Structure 1
Amino acid sequence: MTDSHVDTAQAHLLGPVQVRELAEELDISPTKKLGQNFVHDPNTVRKIVAASEITASDDVLEIGPGLGSLTLALLETAHTVTAVEIDRRLADKLPETVSTRAEPCAARFHVILKDALKLQRCDFDNAKRPLPSALVANLPYNVSVPVLLHCVEEFKTIRRVLVMVQREVADRLAAEPGSKIYGVPSVKAGYYGNVSRAATIGKNVFWPAPKIDSGLVRIDRWTDQTRPWSLTDLPKGTGESELRAVVFSLADAAFLQRRKTLRAALSSWFSSGSQAEGVLVEAGIDPKQRGEKLSTADFVRLAKVALKNNLVAGEVLR
């Protein structure tokens, strides 16, 4: 297969009428339980694809494709699109929708019937699909952050992320240290790459219309050249997965009672407040600071000191 047709392939995108017709055909009423809000505006899905900056060489992972609105737009540009859908009715209908509305792209599309939180690399290997280089999705609102973090951790091949989430979630993911909305999601997303807000999406492009606006969040994954910290100075016997586990655990503890100083907030994570203070000082962090002041790089520095001094509880690394 060559990529020459990718640039010229035009899909017949779904509008409000087609979205309603498909839903009626499948006897589907969008459910809050599954976080379903179907995009029915062609301009919006093309805006998402443009913001993702995917090219004809990208293999795209899409989570929660629903009726296929974004899927069709992605197939106009991407090399392949692999969609992960938890609802069997939707998953079974998607290949037909692609064949009908984007026939030249059908061979480049594949759907996996699965809970995205349980998605694994072997799902791609077993289906003989190329591993994703990009994640582009309208994420189910109720599990957006866990799904995002799971996918970027499971697939190290993902270089770029462009996801649509609730606006307040988008703001938290991209928040800077010191902000009132900066917290655990900000730290954890920042571990994987440079996080930025790409756009705000209004309520009326969805069916049913949610109560609040949505936001596009972009993550450009760190490379060895851009990462703000080194992975070559880890304590002997410690790998990147152990470092990540400690960073995430420390962030969870620091924000559990965000009004407390780091010395107090981390006293139970370590064996005592004095031990927490000693590690913080060694990491160059003021023990009187609060967690909201620390960047992801600060948490990494703190985690490295904890690992070096063998102060990490075994359950953190499991």
Structure 2
Amino acid sequence: MDTNDETSAGPRLLGPADVRQLAARLGLRPTKTLGQNFVVDANTVRRIVRVSGVGPQDVVAEVGPGLGSLTLALLPHVRHVTAVEVDAALASALPETVTEYAPSSAPRLDVVHADALRMGPLPGPEPTALVANLPYNVAVPVLLHTLELLPSLERALVMVQKEVADRLAAAPGSRTYGVPSVKAAWYGTVDSAGAVARSVFWPVPNVDSGLVLLRRHEPPPGDRREVFAVVDAAFAQRRKTLRAALSGWAGSAPAAEAVLHAAGIDPRARGEQLNVRDFARIAAARAAIG
């Protein structure tokens, strides 16, 4: 098996044979609906743990642990892991898998059966890091919801579809810059952290994957919901100037122009030229004008 012995070279990690055996034991057939593509390569999960920068004092939130490939790699390096899994069968099986493969780490794992998009505060110690292979069909909303729900998070390392990774890490003015870029930047500095081959998954997905690292910082001044409303409006019609794109949000094109001038933003600019602090200034200017 493509695993290690916990008593010698560290924890036993899941290889292709282990993943298929665990799936067969559960009668599991991965579903596209839940975005289930399981990592079967031990070197990949080791790399994710290394790039995440987590250490002995960290409490890690993991969303979508699946069969436990990444969970097993995380547990020896951190203080605690709280895993959130929407699939009831997977959620109930994960503690058993950890007990089998890494028995000394089992007491430091909590498993929460919940939809990550609807989860509330997590039990146990406050998480300091999010490390996850996110379900690709809901990766961005799950990431944003988790960052908002858990203000204790200092950083996040997530694996997502490469196209989404490019968008999250995009800078203003680039072709891929858009709503995910700005909203992620509200919470932290976002950087691409490398590509991941399709061959490390079972089943093999039809898309490439990438790692994204977010280092948390204080958000800009202002109300997040108001700022995000400006962002959504600005990118709903990318080709239009901000004066036109924000006309519905502001009430009219002249009203949008007045708000933009008050914020020190050229009304002829387009959304992809602005950073998150620019959008925060626009929201604040509208609130000040009333």
Length-normalised TM-score, structure 1: 0.87
Q: 1:134 aligns with which of 119, 122, 129?
A: 129
Say which SS state the counterpart of residue 112 (structure 1) adopts.
strand
Distance in 2 (CA, whole Å) between partners of 1:246 and 1:285 is 17
**CA drift at 1:217:** 0.5
In the TM superposition, what is the alpha-carbon distance from 1:307 to its structure 2 partner?
Answer: 1.7
Cα deviation, 1:282-305, whole Å, max 9, x if unaligned, reads 111110011111111110111111
Q: Deviations over 1:185-226 (max 9, x none)?
A: 001000000000001001000001111210000110004xxx
**Considering only aligned residues, what root-mean-square deviation do their CA atoms show, in Å?**
1.2
Is 1:255 equivalent to 2:250 in the alignment? no
Matching residue's letter, 1:64:
G
Whether contact under 8 Å (1:253, 1:269) holds in the other structure is yes
Deviation at 1:10, TM superposition (A): 2.4
Partner of 1:197: 192
CA distance in 1, matches of 2:199, 2:77: 25
- Map 1:227-306 to 2 at 5 A: 229=220, 231=221, 243-306=223-286
Alignment check: 8 A CA contact 1:166 1:215 kept: yes
Q: Supply the AA of the counterpart residue of 1:259.
A: R
Which consecutive unaligned segments of at least 5 residues does structure 2 have? 1-7
Instruction: String of CA shifts for 1:37-67, please: whole Å, max 9, x gaps.
Output: 0000000000000000001100000000000
- In the alignment, which residue of structure 2 is the partner of 1:160? 155
The alignment partner of 1:268 has SS state of helix
Q: In 2 relative to 1, CA 9–80 (structure 1 residues): closer, same or farther, beyond 3 Å? A: farther
SS at structure 2 position matched to 1:11: coil
User: How many equivalent pairs are there?
Assistant: 283
Mapping 1:67-146, distance limit 5 Å: 67-121=67-121, 123-124=122-123, 129-146=124-141
Match of 1:27 in 2: 27
Matching residue's letter, 1:81: V
CA distance in 2, matches of 1:305, 1:10: 55
Identify the residue that residue 39 of structure 1 maps to in structure 2.
39
CA contact (8 A) 1:64 1:85 kept: yes
Percent same amino acid among aligned pairs? 56
Measure, in 2, the Cα distance between the counterparts of 1:33 and 1:212: 15
Return 5+ residue gaps in structure 1 as ranges. Answer: 1-7, 232-239, 311-318
Specify the alignment match of 1:236 in structure 2.
none
- Mapped to 2, the partners of 1:22 and 1:130 lie a distance apart of 29
Task: Show the counterpart of 1:173.
Answer: 168
Shift of 1:9: 9.0
Indicate the SS of the match to 1:180.
coil
Alignment partner of 1:207 is 2:219: no
